[in-house]
Amino acid sequence: MYILKGLICVDVTRLGNTMTLSGTPPEVGDQLPKFKVFDQNNVKVKTANLIGKVTLISVVPDLETPVCTLQTRKFTQQADHYPAAKFCTISNNSIAEQTGWCAAQGVENVDLLSDEELSFGYEMGLYVPNLGNLARSIWIVDETGKIVYRQIVTEQSDEPDYLEAIDALEKLVPRVDL
């Protein structure tokens, strides 16, 4: 992270190569910006649709890669333990690619959202122009849409710190053992 012309710039790396994000990601305490993504039925999902319930947003660069698959699976497996929270995964894969991933992985009941139009990526400052995809990150917003946790993974080929994210979530909603 560095400051350029008064803006806080965030860099990430991919296999050690430094890349700058398209904008400045919001900070903890900021409101989730307005954006639109699309669900598996090609229905528009806006920021307002995510407000009202604590939400964990898992952002992956490309759902069809091993680390993104692991990240999506790990958070999907946790969702049942937190019925008071909403879990969703956002990538800029197309809806068809996301649907194909679900079929190939045998995954059901996962809330995948497509940011193929990059509305989320640009509004959140998470688009990585050099890679053509979103930066791996985890966001938790409270029921009012205020960001209470953010984790932008520095090395994009690494997995996020799942435990840290789940610990942050547990400060807002209780875990239910099945």
pTM of the predicted model, to two decimals?
Answer: 0.92
Alpha carbons 48 and 1: distance in angstroms, whole number? 29
Counting residues of the chain whose pLDDT is more than 70, the rounded percentage is 94
* 68 flagged as catalytic: yes
Mean per-residue pLDDT, 44-73: 94
Report pLDDT for 92.
94
Report pLDDT for 8.
47
Burial, 104: exposed, middle or buried (Cβ in 10 Å; 0-12, 13-18, 19+)? exposed
Report pLDDT for 31.
97
Task: Give, for 98, the enclosing helix (H) or strand (E).
Answer: helix 95-105
pLDDT (tens digit per residue) in 69-88: 999 999 988 998 999 999 99
Burial, 102: exposed, middle or buried (Cβ in 10 Å; 0-12, 13-18, 19+)? middle
Mean per-residue pLDDT, 53-77: 94
Could you tell me how many residues make up the chain?
A: 178
Question: What is the pLDDT confidence band of residue 176, given thresholds at 50, 70 and 90?
Answer: very high
Alpha carbons 129 and 116: distance in angstroms, whole number? 14
Which residue among 9, 68, 88, 102 is the active-site one? 68
**Does residue 140 register a pLDDT over 50?**
yes
**Does residue 131 register a pLDDT over 50?**
yes
